[in-house]
Chains A and B, each alone.
Chain A
Amino acid sequence: MTTLSTRPLAAPARTRRPRPSAGKITAWIAMSVFLLVSLFPFYWMLRTALSNGASLASDPGSLLPVDFTWGAFERVLGLATTEEAQAQGGSGASLNFWGYLLNSVFVATLITSGQVFFGALAAYAFARLRWPGRDAVFFLFLIALMVPPIFTQLPNFLLMRDLGLINTYAGIVLPFFFMTPFAIFFLRQFFLGISTEIEEAARLDGASDLRIFFKVILPMSAGPLATLAILQYIQAWNEYFWPLLVGSDQSVRVLTVALGVFRSQTPQGTPDWAGLMAAALLAALPILLLFIVFSRKIVNSIGFSGIK
């Protein structure tokens, strides 16, 4: 007995592999252009950082480092003497990299922990708890999202000044620590999507709301919480304006601000391009590393966070 062939009858149009259409080729070329444009500046940073600053002008179009040297990195990390630095076009100024790195890590970690934890609490209150004025308060927070940061930063600066918190970690961290509207919306969206059965089951078991939140909801939300933490960490790491206002003293300076200072410390006139690129690369490195580890998570979360 012949068994019926399980292979579907191929439609005549499908018997041969379709040749890639002109449209598809154009599309791939366009895509490659986008990728190239995205990646080239990173390569260029590296190429310049590995060049000798004093010789850069002699071969500006070269795709490879000009007069390969680690001098720029040494200069930036404070490992070169003033003579060596100035010989290669630097100014003898260095980026106290490790110190500023620690500051950035400390500040970003503090801010992220506060935002995620308090944000989760608030988001749950909005999503799952019923209380009077809930919608009104949520509307208020919504408005806060629309306020341009500069508008609150001036008065916040005055507040920090009055409290004597200028040039302290507290001054840099506090305005962001307790709440960010984005975190609340992000998590509220997720909490709304959790089915109510789990909570009701727990409630029938006699668990209090507090316990439900900490023992049931939070563990379930590990995914989005981690994603939010990563996104907020990146944002906190890249903050420039506020730390510039409140934390320019060396002891609390973060990497972004330090980079701005390094840029202005260049020798009379010509920027120390090699040193600057080395500093930029070092400032971006931690986030790049973080990204390599968590790339999939970050990339997949960006769509979700955009949808209301």
Chain B
Amino acid sequence: MAVDTLPPRAGTPGRASASPRSRNHAMAVRRQTRIALAFIAPSMLGFVVFYFWPTLRGIYISFTDFDVFSAPVFTGLANYARLFTDETFANSARATLLYVVLNIALQTVLALGLAVLMHRLTQSAVIRSIVVLPYLIANVVVALVWFWMLDFQIGIVNQGIEWLGGTAIAFFGDENWAIPTIALVNTWRHLGYTALLIFAGLQMIPKEIYEAARTEGANEWQMFRRLTLPLLRPVLSLVLVITLIGSFQVFDTVAVTTSGGPADATRVVQYYIFDLAFQRLDFGYASAVSVVLLVVLAIITAVQLKLTRANESDLN
């Protein structure tokens, strides 16, 4: 005779198998489900109409030839095959990659440095406000201001360079400088924000750890390398994911300054997609390129998340 054939007694504590308990529980869930569905409804509507369905439609269009003025024509994998022979796409992939690497490297290193400085020197909210100020301004405004400051003829930066004895640099006009310049401009904008993210992570590290290390004679640099960095890993990973995804989608800055030039040096993927869709009226191929971008970003995010989870225990 199994122990569990005994009929349950109402109100018996402990075992969740008590029947009235689970009946109450079932009713609670049913009641909550109704409310939850109502609460979720608007977001669900937004998700389905503006995220889910466009994704499906985008994928569908990527298999067609669609110029908006006539119905789409199914062409199978033709658009994807074209990706392999399209020099402009290869160029845009290269340009975007270069931009992402430069932007991320610069931003992360500088933001880390800035965050540590803020953490060790002052907790002042004023300083943090100043530092995050560029982030509040629209990309378009930032791009225009730097377009002016980096002007070859009369921009203040080149004036400064010449005053120091160097030769002026065509920041936006030189093929080799264009992408690094755009990376620098966007770094300027996002530096403060990223630094504040890392700063918050630094705040979470208990001060006792540092004090203990200091009594053992560790200096600043050692503490930074042996304590701060490892403990910051989850935060840094998160910051990396966010900034990585963001930088793949650079568009505003390019649109307002170089428009993809000079000689396609700044024709980044998102700008190329825009160009394909709205100038060459090739929505099918543009969608195919977007799908590729989506896949790349998904892979990167997945990899990043795996790495993050692997390091979550560090803080404990």
> A154 near B273 (CB under 8 angstroms)?
yes
The 7 closest A-B pairs by CB, nearest first: A303-B200, A178-B46, A155-B54, A179-B46, A60-B154, A238-B138, A179-B43
> A31 near B121 (CB under 8 angstroms)?
yes
> B290 near A240 (CB under 8 angstroms)?
no
B193 to A, closest residue via Cβ: A302
Among candidates B141, B193, B255, residue contacting A284 with C-beta atoms closer than 8 Å:
B141
Q: Does B107 contact A (CB under 8 A)?
A: no
> A37 near B188 (CB under 8 angstroms)?
yes
| Total count of chain A residues near the partner, CB < 8 A | 91
> A129 near B134 (CB under 8 angstroms)?
no
> A23 near B197 (CB under 8 angstroms)?
no
> B32 near A35 (CB under 8 angstroms)?
no
B-facing residues in A248-287 (Cβ within 8 Å): 255-256, 259-260, 263, 271, 273, 276-277, 280, 283-284, 287
Docked complex Cα distance between A308 and B128 (Å): 22
Among candidates A124, A150, A277, residue contacting B39 with C-beta atoms closer than 8 Å:
A124
Among candidates B47, B131, B235, residue contacting A179 with C-beta atoms closer than 8 Å:
B47
> A56 near B252 (CB under 8 angstroms)?
no
| Total count of chain B residues near the partner, CB < 8 A | 100
Docked complex Cα distance between A35 and B121 (Å): 14
- Which of B29, B52, B141, B145 gathers most chain A CB within 10 Å? B141
- Which of A30, A178, A298, A304 gathers most chain B CB within 10 Å? A178
Q: Name the B residues within 8 Å of A129 (CB-CB).
A: 32-33, 35-36, 39
The chain B residues found within 8 Å of chain A, CB to CB, are 28-29, 31-33, 35-37, 39-40, 42-47, 49-55, 57-58, 61, 68, 113-114, 117-118, 120-121, 125, 127-134, 136-142, 144-149, 151, 153-156, 159-160, 163, 188, 191-193, 196-197, 199-201, 203, 220, 235, 238-239, 242, 245, 248-249, 251-252, 255-256, 270, 273-274, 277-278, 283, 286-287, 290-291, 293-294, 297-298, 301
> B144 near A288 (CB under 8 angstroms)?
no
Q: Mark A206-231, 1 if CB is under 8 A from B, else 0.
A: 00011001000000000000000000
The chain A residues found within 8 Å of chain B, CB to CB, are 23-24, 27-28, 30-31, 34-35, 37-39, 41-42, 44-45, 48, 56-57, 60-61, 118-119, 121-122, 124-125, 129-132, 134, 137, 140-141, 144, 146-156, 158-159, 161, 174-175, 177-179, 184, 209-210, 213, 234, 237-238, 240-241, 244-245, 255-256, 259-260, 263, 271, 273, 276-277, 280, 283-284, 287-288, 291, 295-296, 298-300, 302-304, 306-308
> B140 near A260 (CB under 8 angstroms)?
yes
Q: Name the A residues within 8 Å of B273 (CB-CB).
A: 150, 154
Docked complex Cα distance between A276 and B137 (Å): 15
Q: Name the A residues within 8 Å of B121 (CB-CB).
A: 24, 27-28, 31
Docked complex Cα distance between A257 and B113 (Å): 35
Docked complex Cα distance between A155 and B199 (Å): 39
Docked complex Cα distance between A303 and B44 (Å): 28
Q: Name the B residues within 8 Å of A141 (CB-CB).
A: 43, 47
Q: A27-B121, A137-B40, A148-B290 are in contact. Are A256 and B50 (CB under 8 A)?
A: no
> A306 near B46 (CB under 8 angstroms)?
no
What is the interface of chain B mostly: helix, strand, loop, or mixed?
A: helix
Among candidates A41, A147, A276, A306, residue contacting B51 with C-beta atoms closer than 8 Å:
A147
What is the interface of chain A mostly: helix, strand, loop, or mixed?
A: helix
Some 26 contacts from A to B, beta carbons below 8 A apart, are A38-B192, A41-B142, A44-B145, A44-B148, A131-B32, A131-B33, A141-B43, A147-B297, A148-B290, A148-B294, A151-B293, A152-B51, A154-B283, A178-B42, A178-B46, A179-B43, A209-B35, A240-B251, A245-B278, A256-B141, A259-B140, A280-B144, A280-B145, A284-B141, A306-B200, A307-B235
Docked complex Cα distance between A291 and B44 (Å): 32
> A277 near B235 (CB under 8 angstroms)?
no
B273 to A, closest residue via Cβ: A150
Known contacts A28-B121, A61-B163, A147-B294, then 13 further A-B pairs from the complex at CB < 8 Å, ordered by chain A residue: A60-B155, A122-B42, A130-B33, A131-B37, A148-B290, A149-B249, A151-B54, A156-B50, A158-B68, A178-B45, A178-B49, A256-B141, A291-B136
Docked complex Cα distance between A179 and B44 (Å): 8
Docked complex Cα distance between A245 and B274 (Å): 10
Q: A146-B298, A209-B35, A307-B235 are in contact. Are A121 and B58 (CB under 8 A)?
A: no
Q: A155-B54, A256-B138, A299-B125 are in contact. Are A179 and B39 (CB under 8 A)?
A: no
Q: A259-B144, A295-B125, A295-B129 are in contact. Are A178 and B248 (CB under 8 A)?
A: no
> A125 near B40 (CB under 8 angstroms)?
yes
Q: A60-B155, A299-B132, A303-B201 are in contact. Are A41 and B146 (CB under 8 A)?
A: yes
A111 to chain B, nearest CB (A): 11
Among candidates B57, B145, B220, residue contacting A45 with C-beta atoms closer than 8 Å:
B145
> A30 near B113 (CB under 8 angstroms)?
yes
A57 to B, closest residue via Cβ: B154
> A178 near B43 (CB under 8 angstroms)?
yes
> B298 near A240 (CB under 8 angstroms)?
no
> A288 near B136 (CB under 8 angstroms)?
yes
Docked complex Cα distance between A45 and B245 (Å): 30
Docked complex Cα distance between A221 and B237 (Å): 29
Q: Name the A residues within 8 Å of B52 (CB-CB).
A: 144
Q: Name the B residues within 8 Å of A238 (CB-CB).
A: 136-140
Q: Name the B residues within 8 Å of A304 (CB-CB).
A: 200
> A151 near B235 (CB under 8 angstroms)?
no
> B196 near A303 (CB under 8 angstroms)?
yes
A177 to B, closest residue via Cβ: B46
Q: Name the A residues within 8 Å of B138 (CB-CB).
A: 237-238, 240, 255-256, 259, 283-284, 287
